[in-house]
Amino acid sequence: MSRTLKGTAAGLAATIPMTVSMGVLQRMSHPSTRIAPSEVVRRAEKMASLDKEIGEKTHETLTGIAHFAFGGAAGAGFGLVGPFKHPMLAGLLYGASVYGVSYIGILPELRLMPEPENDRPQRQSATFLSHIVWGAVLGAIYGFLTDQSD
C-alpha cells in the first residue's frame, strides 16, 4: 500500500475521534451552535440556493460525507510528505496546520466560515482542539501502517 493510500486511510479513521471531540467540546460550551463542518456545508447550500430544498437529514448526510472526504484527502497529503521520524508529532503539527489553512485562510475567504475573530471563540477553540486530536490520531495510525511508530 502506498504512503498516500495509508495517509488517506489514517485520515479517514482519524476523522471519527475528531468529529466526536468537536461535538463534545462545542456542545459543552454552546449547545445550540452548529459544529464547524455543518456550518460550512450549510453556507455552501445557501450559496448554491439549495438551503430551502435540503432537509436536515440530507444536510447531516452531506456534512458527514464532506467531512470524511476532507479528512481522507488531508490524510493523503500527510502521506505524500512522509515518512516521518516521529509520525504522531508530525500529525499534531499537520493537524494544527490544516486548521490554520482552512479556518483562518481558505474558508473565511470563500465565505464558508466567519473569520476566527468574528466567530464564537468556543467554536474556534473546539475546532482547533479537534484538529489536534485528528492530527495525533492521524500520525499514530499512519505510523502504525508504515511501521514508523513513535
Q: Tell me: pLDDT of 18 over 70.
A: yes
**Residue from 27, 59, 64 nearest 46 by CA:** 59
Residue-wise pLDDT tens digits, 83-110: 899 999 999 999 999 999 999 999 999 9
Phi/psi at 54 (5° precision):
-95, 120
Q: Tell me: pLDDT of 32 over 90.
A: no
The answer to whether residues 87 and 150 touch, using CB atoms and an 8 Å cutoff, is yes
The answer to whether residues 9 and 75 touch, using CB atoms and an 8 Å cutoff, is yes
pLDDT at 149: 60
pLDDT at 139: 97
- Cα dihedral angle (37, 40, 41, 46), rounded to 10 degrees? 160
Q: For residue 65, give the C-alpha cell.
A: 460525507
Dump the DSSP string for 69-120. Answer: HHHHHHHHHHHHH---SSHHHHHHHHHHHHHIIIIIIIHHHTTSS--GGGS-
CA distance 8 to 136: 15
| Its pTM surpasses 0.85 | yes
Cβ neighbours of residue 62 under 8 Å, at least 6 residues apart?
A: 41, 45, 54
Residue-wise pLDDT tens digits, 35-90: 889 999 999 999 999 988 999 999 999 999 999 999 999 999 999 998 899 999 99
What b/e sequence results for 12-49 when a residue is b if at least 16 CB atoms lie within 10 Å of its CB, and e otherwise? bbbbeebbebbeebbeeeeeebbbbbbbbbbbbbeeee
